[in-house]
């Protein structure tokens, strides 16, 4: 039985921090903890938060050896994440997995002790260390500069533990499996599976039920390969019932992930068929309708256009 613990204290904590000048952000997003098992939680924006809010969903996994987090939201939310952890356990945060490079998933890495073991796909580490990533400067009044977040002395917050195809952390009931299946949202997206809880964090390979943002320009993502990567994940991962999406405010089911893959791959097929028939991007976009079996997935017109254009361009 899932339950959600609404953390009124978090909002209070945020106000205290603002009053002491620790964090100059004007608006802070209220967070909510969704309990997925006895020791696995999803820390999300409270429903009703508009826009990016605090950033992507954070998984909190509590074991005897310490706490593992997946993703750290945007810059300035480290203390909020720690406050949520403290409502669940006194154990220290020992491991942080970043599903991908983006500033709304790794923004608070540097607000944790540098004794934490940071883990990510090898391409994500490269992206985090690069000079030209999308640093989210257009958000929060330009205050977020994630490209600079890991420069200089802060390079110690870059993932030291990387992998290429799969990686297993811990064992027994604590086992966590990391999988990389190819390019999609970026070129370094990890699917994180908590074995005992039969739960998977998808990062932004499944941000929410709807057409994904594909970061072609800054993180070598690929709309062309996105659909194949989803298929490989479905074929290659078993034993998952519950999904922590990248941004959806509530947990979802494995069946939602499978349906989303079908939805995305249907658009790929429709686009390929349209292009082969000599139709233009405009014609494919204007005739596109979400098939009824995928009706739970959103297809905003700008996202349809961007995806179809990338597919036409082979990107």
Binding residues vs Zn ion (CB under 5 A): 102, 204
Tokens, residue 294: 């995928």
Nearer to Zn ion, 102 or 126 (CB): 102
Closest CB 207 distance from Zn ion, rounded Å = 7
Closest CB 51 distance from Zn ion, rounded Å = 14
Determine the Cα angle at 255 with ends 251 and 259, to 5°.
Answer: 105
Q: Measured between alpha carbons, how far is 134 from 130 in angstroms, rounded to an integer? A: 10
Nearer to Zn ion, 102 or 125 (CB): 102
Q: Measured between alpha carbons, how far is 110 from 154 in angstroms, rounded to an integer? A: 7
- Helix ranges (H only) for the chain are 8-19, 78-86, 103-106, 122-129, 146-149, 216-219, 223-236, 254-276, 281-287, 301-313
Closest CB 185 distance from Zn ion, rounded Å = 6
Nearer to Zn ion, 111 or 204 (CB): 204
Closest CB 28 distance from Zn ion, rounded Å = 21
Q: Measured between alpha carbons, how far is 129 from 149 in angstroms, rounded to an integer? A: 9
Distances (CA, A) of 104 to 132, 236, 295: 16, 27, 28
The DSSP bridge pattern shows strands 166-169 and 252-253 to be unpaired
Nearer to Zn ion, 13 or 118 (CB): 118
Nearer to Zn ion, 110 or 186 (CB): 186
Closest CB 311 distance from Zn ion, rounded Å = 20
């Amino acid at each position: 039985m899932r339950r959600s613990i609404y953390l009124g204290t978090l909002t209070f904590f945020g106000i205290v921090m603002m009053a002491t000048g620790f964090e100059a952000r004007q608006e802070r997003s209220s967070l909510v903890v969704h309990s997925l098992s006895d020791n696995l939680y999803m820390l999300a924006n409270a429903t009703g938060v508009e826009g990016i809010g605090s950033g992507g969903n954070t998984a909190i996994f509590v074991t005897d050896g310490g706490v593992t987090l997946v993703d750290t939201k945007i810059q300035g939310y480290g203390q909020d994440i720690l406050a949520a952890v403290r409502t669940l356990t006194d154990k220290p945060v020992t491991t942080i997995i970043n599903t991908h490079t983006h500033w709304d998933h790794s923004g608070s890495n540097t607000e944790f002790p540098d004794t934490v073991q940071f883990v990510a796909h090898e391409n994500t580490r490269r992206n985090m260390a690069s000079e030209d990533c999308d640093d989210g400067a257009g958000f929060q009044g330009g205050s977020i500069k994630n490209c600079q977040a890991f420069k200089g002395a802060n390079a110690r917050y870059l993932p030291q533990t990387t992998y290429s195809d799969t990686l297993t952390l811990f064992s027994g009931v604590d086992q966590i499996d990391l999988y990389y299946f190819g390019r999609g949202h970026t070129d370094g997206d990890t699917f994180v599976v908590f074995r005992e809880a039969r739960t998977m964090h998808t990062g932004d390979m499944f941000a929410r039920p709807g057409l994904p943002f594909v970061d072609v320009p800054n993180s070598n993502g690929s709309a062309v390969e996105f659909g194949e990567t989803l298929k490989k994940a479905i074929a290659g991962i078993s034993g998952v019932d519950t999904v922590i999406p990248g941004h959806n405010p509530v947990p979802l089911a494995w069946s939602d992930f499978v349906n989303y893959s079908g939805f995305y791959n249907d658009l790929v097929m429709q686009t390929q068929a349209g292009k082969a028939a000599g139709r233009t991007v405009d014609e494919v976009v204007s005739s596109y309708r979400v098939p009824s079996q995928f009706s739970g997935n959103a297809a905003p017109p700008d996202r349809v256009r961007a995806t179809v254009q990338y597919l036409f361009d082979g990107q």
